[in-house]
Structure 1
Amino acid sequence: MERLPSSPGERPEETDFSPESAYSATATVNEEGTVTDWSEGAQRLLGYAPSQVVGLPAADLLAEGAGDAAQRIPAEEERWSGTVALRHRDGRRLEVGLIAHRWTSTGGTAKWTVVSAVAGEPGPAWDASLKEWAFAQSPCFLAVFDADLRLVRANAGMERTLCLTEAEMRGLRLPELAPDPVSDETERKMRLALETGEPQYVDAFVRPTGASAEHGWATTLAPLRDPDGRVRAVSLAAHDKTEIEGDLPQMLVPNVAAARIGTTLDSARTAQELADAAVPRLADFAAVDLLDPLPRGDEPSSRTVAGPVTVCRTAVRSILEGSPESQVAVGETTVYPALSPPVECLATGRGAVFGTTDPAIIRWVAQDPAAGWTGAYGTHSIMVVPLRAGGITLGLAVFSRHQSREPFQQEDLSRAEEMTNTAAVSIHNARRYPREHTSTMTLQRSLLPHTLPPQAALVEIASRYLPAGTEAGVGGDWFDVIPLSGARVALVVGDVVGHGIRAAATMGRLRTAVRTLADVDLPPDELLTHLDDLIIHLSADDTDRDGSGDAAGGIGTTCLYVVYDPVTRRCTVARAGHPPPAVVSPEGSVYLLDVPAGPPLGLGGLPFETVEVELPEGSILTLYTDGLLKDRDYDIDEALDKMFAALARPASTLETVCDRVLTALLTHRPDDDVALLVARTRALHADKVVVLDLSSDPSVVAHARRHATDQLTAWGLEEASFVTELLVSELVTNAIRYGEPPIQLRLIHEDTTLICEVSDSSNTAPHMRRARIFDEGGRGLLLVAQLAERWGTRHAPVGKTIWAEQSLVGF
C-alpha cells in the first residue's frame, strides 16, 4: 500500500493555515482503521491532501513513539478522548488533542469520527470579566460559546452532561461535542441569539450518557453583552423539564406552553394543544370553539358580528375528570346568543375577564341553558379570548377557574392572548397550507423544464423531481439541460434554500440567470461567480423591501454546473456547496468526481474552482440534490453506498436507472425536495469533425471554401454547400481582417446540425451593425445572422471562436 510522504526535504503542500482564527480538523476512520474522509481542516493541520490520506491506514499518521493507546481505538467505547502525537507532512511531530465519536449505522456498519480543535491567536480576552457576564446572566448550569460558536467555558453541570472535561471540550462546536440533530438545532438558535441579540429557546437538549430518551432539558440561549452593550458571546443554560413545569414561577409557564402549541398543521390538534397548555397552568377549565363554517379566503374580516354565532366545539380540557363543565361534546356545534360575552368577544376582537356575578354573565345564562356551567362546580372567574390571525377571526377560547382561589387578572389575560395568538396563527396556516402548497407546486413545475431537449452530446437523458412531503412545503430544487455551441451541453442542478412560494420564485429567477449566462458561453467557475453576485443583489433587494433578512434572495443556495464536449470527451465541472456528480464508467464502476466544493452561493468574495476530466464514451453522469441522501433511516455513507449499488446495476434505459435510485434511497416521502438528472455521454468521432489551419492571408479564403465544399460532399450534404460557402467566407475573412493568427476552421456534423467555427487568438469580440449605403464593410455578420439558425462568440483563455449553426432538416 502507498505510504504517506514523510521526507523532511519534501516541500509541503500549502495548508492555508491562518494563525488568526481557530478551526476544526475532522476525519473519519472505519473499523479496520482506514481513513475514509479527510476535511479541509485536517489538511490545514497536517498538510496532507485528501487524495494522499483517504484509503490509507490511520496509523500511518502517527508519529514515532506515539504509544499503543493512540494506535488502537477501544471498540467497546462510544467516545474516546486524549492527546496523540501525529506526523505533519513535512516531518514535524505535533501533539494534538482528539475526541473520537463512534457511529453505528442501522445496517450495523461502524465508524469513528475524529475531531480536534486547532486554536488560533488569542482574540478577545476570555478572562474574569467574561465569566462574570456569563454566570451573572445565566439562570443555571451553563456553557459559554464565543462568536464563532466554539466553547470557551463550561461549568460542572455541562461536564457531567457530556462526560467530558472543560479542557477537552474547549474550542469545539456543540455538534462536534455531541453529534445529534438536537445539537444542530441548538447551534442554529445560538447563531440567531448572536445576530439578533434576543434570547432563544429550545425545548430539548442532548442527553447525558446512559440517560433515557424521555429525560432531557429545555434550553435557554442568552446573548452575553460587554459593558458597551455589544453582543460578544452566547450562554447555553439547560433546565430540567420537570423543574420548568413545576418549580419555575407561573409567569414563565406560558412561554414554555406556547412552544407546544401548533406542532402540526391540524386545526383540531392545535386547538387541543391550546386547551392542554392552559389547564392546569393558567385555568381549571378551557374550551376552544371555532366558527362554523370557518371564514374562506385570506381577506380580513369586515362583517360585524351582532347576531347569534354558530361555533364548533373543537377542544376541551378540565382538571375534573370527563370535563363536566362542557355541555357540548367535542365535534358538536352550539350557538352563542346575541350580546353574550363570547359574541361580544368575537365582535370586538378583544378578550375580557368576568366574574360569575357580572350582569353580562347573568344575561348569558338566562339566554343560553348550555351556559349553566358558569354557575356550577364553584366557578368564580371566566375569561373569553378571540382567536385571530391575519386579520381574520377564527373562533374563541373560554377559560374558567373554580379550584384556584385567585380570579383572573390582567396579566392572566395577556398570557392567554399570547397562547391563543399562537394557536390562531397555526390554525390559519393549516387552512392556507393546502392552497399555498398547490400554488407552490404549480409554480415550481411551471418553472422546471417540461421536456428535456435532445442532445447530440448525450445519447439519453432522464430526470426526476419529487417535492418534499413535510409541512415545510415545496422547496427550490431545480435541474436543467442547456444546449451550448460546438455541440456541447450543460447540465445543471441547484438547490435554493428555504421552502414555499418564495423559494420556488427564487429558483425560477436563478434558472433564468443560469440559462442567460450559459448562452454567452461562460466557463463554469465564472458562471457561478456571476450567479453568486446575482444572489447577493437579490437578497439585498428583498431585505430592503420587507426589512427582513430571511434569505429571500437565496443566500445558501447550492449549484452544480457541468459542461460536456462530445468532440474532446472532456467534462468541465464546478460546484458551489453542492454534492459532486457520480459517474458510472462503461465497465460499470461507480465513483464521485473529485470537484472542490466551493462555498454556497450568496456569500460573496470566495472563489470557485473548475475541474476538467475526460470521460469514456458511454459513461453515465448522475447529478442530484442533497434531499436524495437525507433519509432519516441511514447516514450519508449508507446513502452513497445504496446509490452506487443502484447505479452499478445494468439497465436498458436511464428511466430505469432513475427509478432504481429513487427506490433504493427513498423509503418514504422525502423530507426535502429531490432533483435527479441522469445522462449518458457519447462522442463525435473524427469522421464527424474536420479541422483546417489557415494562414493570415486573404488568399486562403478561397481554399477554405473549397475545403468546406469537399467535406460536405464527403458527408453527402451537397445541398448545404452554398450557404456553408458563404458562412465560411465571411467568418474566415473577418478573422483574417480583424483577428490575430493562428486561425483555424472547424466543421462539425451532428445528426441534424452542421456547425461552422472559425477561431483566432484575438480576444476582441465582433458585433453586428447596420452598414450605411456607401460603407465597404459591416454586412458580414448581418449576413451570417440571416443564413445561420444560431450564431455567437465563445471566448477561450486565449482568443475566441465565432460559430454558426445550420439546420440540416429537409436536406
Structure 2
Amino acid sequence: MANLSERGAAGEVAVILLDRAGVVRRCSRTAAELLGYTAAEVCGRPVASLLEDPSPPSRGPIRFRHGSGGLVELSVAEVPLEGSSEVVLIVTPASEAGVWEPSSAFLHALLAQKQLGIILFDTELRAVHTNGTPGMYGWPPLRVGDHLADVISTDDASEAEGRLRRVLETGVAQVAVEQRMRARDASKRERSFSMSAFRMEDERGRPTGVAALFIGNTEQWRARRRTEMSHEASAVIGGSLDVTRTAQDIASVLVPALADMAMVEIADPVLEGDETPKGVFPGSSWSLRRVAVASAVGPWPVELLPVGAVVPKLPDTAHVRRAALHGDTVLNTTRREMADLFKDPELIRSMLPAKGHSAIVAPLFARGHLLGFVVVWRTEQPEPFEQEDADLLFDIAARAALSLDNARRYTREHRAAVALQQRLLPRAITRTTAAESAGCYVPAGGGADISGDWFDVIPLPSLRVAFVVGDITGHGLHAAATMGRLRTAIHTLADLEFAPGELLSHLDDLVQQLAEEADPHLKDTIGATCLYALYDPVTGTCSLAAAGHPPPAVIRPAGTGRLITVPPGPPLGVGGMPFEVTTVDLDPGSTLALYTDGLVHARSGDTDGGIRELLHRLSSLCRHDETLKDIGQAVMAELTETPSRDDMALLLVRTQRIPASDIADWTFPDDPAAVADARKAVARQLAAWELDHMAFTTELIVSELVTNAIRYAGGTVGLRLFRDDATLVCEVTDGSNTQPRLRRARGGDEGGRGLFLVAQLSKRWGSRYHQTGKTIWAEESTTAASAQDTALAAVWDSATL
C-alpha cells in the first residue's frame, strides 16, 4: 500500500466529481495525490478503472489502484447533487474513516437544511450547481446560469461577488464572512449569511470555479443589531439636558436601525419643566406635542403631523389607557388596527404613514408620570416588527424617559435661574442726562448655563451716573444669587456717594463675609471681579477702579479707540489691598465699553489679543454711527454661533456733558455778609434761565446752605448751580468734613431749622466727601416748582413751630 505521506497539503478536501456514466470529470489535487496520479491523469477515466473491485459499495473503505502499482485503502462518501445526475465523492485515507463515515451522514443532513446552501460557480460567477429550493432564502431560488444579482439586490450581489472573485483569483479561501443579502423582488426581504468559499481547479491546477457555502444567521444578526442599537442608545440618549434635543436623539437612534420612521411626542408640561399629573389621561388636562421626528426615506412627509404640532386626542381605549396610565404596555399593531382606532379620515391621514404596515407605540414613563410616547413605523422594511423589537423599544423608552425627566428637571431649574437673573439685571437700555447706555448678556453654553456676570447703570445725585460690570466666580443659581446680593450692595454704597476705590473696598469686605458664611467646601468658590466707573457730566470726568477686572475701552467720537489704563487690583474677596482710582476726561459723544472676560476669551485664547480684537471691532462699529443697541448685538452675534464656555456681558455707554450755559459757579469769602450776595447771584441766574418761579425756594435753600458753611466750616465757600430739562441742582462746597445732620428744632431753639427747610423744599438732598472738605447738594424739580412755592408758607409755619 502506498505511503500516505505523499498526500498533498494537509487539511485540504479530497473531492472527485463523477458524471452519470461514472467518468471522472473533476478531481481535486489532494484526491489525485492520494491515488498517486496527477489530476490530468485521473480526469476522463472511468472511476472503475481506478478500483481493485470494479463494483465496490458506494460508501466505506474501498481499495484503489495506486499510481505506484500498489493498492491504497480509502474511505469514500458519495454525495449526489440535487437537480443533477452528477455525484461528488469525498475521499479520505482509511485511517480517517472513523471521521469521514459520520461526516458523510452529517453532510447529507446538512444539505437538507433550509438554512444551509451550497452553490458552485464557474469562472464567470454563474451558478453551475446549487441545492437551493423555492422559499429557501425567502426569495426565488438561484438557477443554473444565474448570477447572484438575479435574485438579490445589486449592492449586495456586487459585494458578495467581489469576495468570490478574490477567492477565484488568489486561491485564498474565505471562511465565515458575514454577508447581508436583500431580495431583488418587491418583498425586499433581508437576510444575513455566514459565507465560506474556496477555489475549484481542473487537472492542470487551473481555476474552474468557486464553491460557496451559505449558512443562515439572520436571527443572530438581528439579535446582534438589537444589542448594538441598545448600546448606541445608552451612549447617545441623555447626553443633553434639553428636552427637545433628548427627544430628537431618541428618534435618531431608532431610525434606520429599528424602523423607517420615528416620532416622539412629549407632554406640554414636560416641555415647560413641570410634571404631568399622575393618573390623568392625555388630552383631559394637558396636550401632547410632536417634538422630534426621523425618517430613513427622505424628508418628513408633508401630510403627516409636523414637529411642533399638537397631537390630537388619543382614542380612549382600554389598552391605550393602560399604556398611558401605567407604562407597562407596548402596543405592536398594524396600520389597519390603528386606523380602526382613529376612524376620522383626516386624523388617519395626519397620524399614520401611507406606506406604514407595522408600528410600535411605547410610553415614556418615569417615576409614575407619563412624559409622552415614542411611535415607530416600518414602511420600506418588509418584515413586520417582532416581539423582540417591541421589547427592545420598551427598554430604550424606559431609559430615555429617565433622561427626559432629568432634562425636564434641569429645564425647571434653568427657568428659575433665568427668571432670577432677569429680575436682577437692570434694563438693557437707559437714558439719562449724563449718558445713554445699552447692555448685552449671553449665558454660557448658548443659554444652557446661568452665571453671575452682570452690568449695571446707577443714576446718582447731581446728575452723575455710575457704571458697573462684574463677574461672579462659578456658575448656576448660587452664582446668580451672589450676583444679586453684590448688585444690591453696590446700589447702597453708590447712594452713599463713596469714591470708586472706597466703594470696592467695602464690597471686598462683603465678599469676605459671604465666604465666611458659606459652607466650608464652597468657601473657595465665593469671589468676583468688578469694575466701577463714576461719570460727572458737569466736568466730563470719569473716575474708575477695578477689582481684578479687564480694563475698559473708550472710543472717541471720531472712531479712534484706546484702552483706559486702570490698575487691576485684586479680585473681590482677597482682602488687605487698596483699589487705586484712575480719572480720565471723556469728550462728549465718546463711547465707553465695559465687559467681562468671557467676551475676550470667546474672541481669542490670548487675553491681550482678544482685548485688541474687541477694541478694533468696537471702533469699526462706532465709526458707522450705529446705535449702542445695534453695536452690542453685532458684537455678541459674532460670538454666539458656537456656545461659549463662559458668560459674556457688555455695557456700552455714550457720554454727554451739560452745556456750559447751564452751569453757574461762584466763590464766596468766609463772611456772613456773603449770604446776601449768594442769594442775589442765584436770583440773577434763575432769571437768565427763565426759572424765576423757582427763585424764592432756591434762594432759601442757598441761604441756609451757605450760612451753615460759613458758620460751621469756615474758609472759602463754593456755590454751583446747574440744570437739565427736569432738575435744578444746587451744590455748596466747604473745607470741613463734618457730617451735616437733619434734626427737628424744639420751640425754644434759636437754630437747627436750616436743613429741615432744605429737606422740605428740595426733591432730595445729601452730601459727599472729598479728600479735603465736602459738598452738600440739593435737587429741585423744575416742573414741580410752582407747587413748592404754593406749599412754602405751610413749610415755613411748620419750621417755626
TM-score calculated relative to the size of structure 2 = 0.49
TM-score calculated relative to the size of structure 1 = 0.49
User: Which protein shows a greater Rg?
Assistant: 2
